[in-house]
Amino acid sequence: MRTATTNRRSSVSYTTLVRQNRNFRFLWFGQIISLLGDWFNLIASASLVALLTQSGLAVGGLFVVRMLAQLVVSPFAGVAADRYNRKHLLILTDIGRAITVLGFLLVRETHQVWLLYTLTAIQLGMSGFFFPSRNAILPDVVSRRELGAANALSSATWSVMLAFGAALGGIVAGEWGIYPAFVIDALTFVASAALIAQVVYERDPALESADKSVRAALRQYIDGLRYLRDHLDILIISFHKAAISLTIGGAFQVIQVAIAERVFVIGQGGGTSLGLMYAAMGVGTGIGPILSRRFTGDRDRPLRIAVAVAYVTAALGLLIISPLASFALVLAGTLLRGFGAGTGWVFSTQLLLQLVPDRVRGRVFSTEFAFFTLTSAIGSAVGGWALDATDLGISGLLTWMAVLALIPSALWTLWLLFGPHAEPLPEEEEEPVPVQAGGVQAD
């Protein structure tokens, strides 16, 4: 079984991976550039909505739109990632997003906020195709020995760019205004597409020639749902990102804006303080999985145990923030929350990479992403509503979120103790899987 093989092998170092694997290097460079623009866009759009509306519910609505747009496209995105060239999908979505974000420059008045929501939906709808395709392509461009390092490095990059991009985006938005961030975002998407174009990647000819009809796509999507139904352990792992966003993620995005705008206001509209909070979260989500992986490696059971601990760590971070005693403590708690959330996120991804075969990988990741976006939308909506319509306040909401985060930790611990666990894939599963007539991949 792959468990034994994986444990016997020593995974490659991060520097060796980047130096020797050209395809991963260009994919990684594209990720770095694209993420820089993503965080510029998020900081700028959230600050713009807050500035134009002065409403927590409106800011929550922005995050709801961001999440629901990806939820709507997720069934199509998963099928597309499993039946089309994943590299081409990445390039097309980058170009489409570059064009879309330039439209944000048109939003200048309160009555134009609907346009910002619409453009956000289009942008994030295309992102709904980008992220499952990028997760699915990773095992296609790295070897089994490189997979753990590639996943950890990609996730750490997301966090580092969150820290750097959010801080820089906050400074740009707070000191020079919001609109330059949108231009920078568009340029980074173009640069990302150019870098990904350098990746040498070809899909399995059998998959490229498969039936591309709508009927075949529907069968493939149902096939993916059946796979999750028949593999309960993988289904439960696919819920982790959703649980993270529902308990400690979705509402926190809205709360961060409220803290920056109402409590610790630094820069225009709190843009600088919001950027610093995102930066602290980025540092936490970056160092969390990297440090934790020193103890777990890529071994199945230690990864599972670390996920349970990650929820508790994030809950402690929320409790540190909740008194709002000082901005320094807010940043410290945000970092610790990011440490836990980042570890849970990266390790659940690693488990799926080690357990899910190529033939359904895109659909599993898109379904996982759908769970995540749905709960993020719910969390953001509830967070925005609670800030405006209840007496809990920021501190009360953070305390309740910390308590709720312990529930998935407890349930996952029970599953670790008593549930049946999927076995990591054997080596031969890396070979191309034949397809049946009509384009539905064989089980």
DSSP secondary structure letters along 386-443: HHHHSS-HHHHHHHHHHHHHHHHHHHHHHHHHHS--PPPPPGGGGSPPPB-TTSPBP-
Burial zone of 439 (CB within 10 Å; 0-12 exposed, 13-18 middle, 19+ buried): buried
What distance in Å separates the CA atoms of residue 349 and residue 138, rounded to the nearest whole number? 11
What confidence tens digit (pLDDT) does each residue in 371-400 have?
887 888 788 788 888 888 888 888 999 999
Q: Where are the domains of the chain?
A: 19-200+212-419
Residue 117 CB-half CA count within 13 A: 18
What distance in Å separates the CA atoms of residue 7 and residue 288, rounded to the nearest whole number? 22
Please name the helix (run of DSSP H) or strand (run of DSSP E) that holds residue 235, with its range, or none: helix 232-238
Tokens (6 digits) for 388: 């405006």
Q: Dump the DSSP string for 362-389.
A: HHHHHHHHHHHHHHHHHHHHHHHHHHHH
Q: What is the pLDDT of residue 416?
A: 92
What distance in Å separates the CA atoms of residue 281 and residue 48, rounded to the nearest whole number? 21
What distance in Å separates the CA atoms of residue 264 and residue 271, rounded to the nearest whole number? 10
87-122 CB burial, b ≥16 within 10 A, e <16: bebbbbbbbbbbebbebbeebeeeeebeebbebbbb
Low-confidence ranges of the chain (pLDDT < 50): 1-9, 428-443
pTM for the predicted model, two decimal places? 0.70
Burial zone of 383 (CB within 10 Å; 0-12 exposed, 13-18 middle, 19+ buried): buried
Q: Other C-beta atoms within 10 Å of 359: how many?
A: 23
191 Cβ partners below 8 Å, 6+ apart?
Answer: 30, 33, 34
- Asked if 167 and 283 touch (Cβ cutoff 8 Å), the reply is no
Q: Rounded to a whole number, what is the largest CA-CA distance in the chain?
A: 64
Q: Please report, as a single letter, which amino acid is at residue 283.
A: V
Tokens 């609109």 appear where? 179
Tokens (6 digits) for 70: 């990806």
What distance in Å separates the CA atoms of residue 227 and residue 442, rounded to the nearest whole number? 11
Topology (CATH) of 19-200+212-419? Growth Hormone; Chain: A; (1.20.1250)
Q: Other C-beta atoms within 10 Å of 157: how many?
A: 16
What distance in Å separates the CA atoms of residue 336 and residue 331, rounded to the nearest whole number? 9
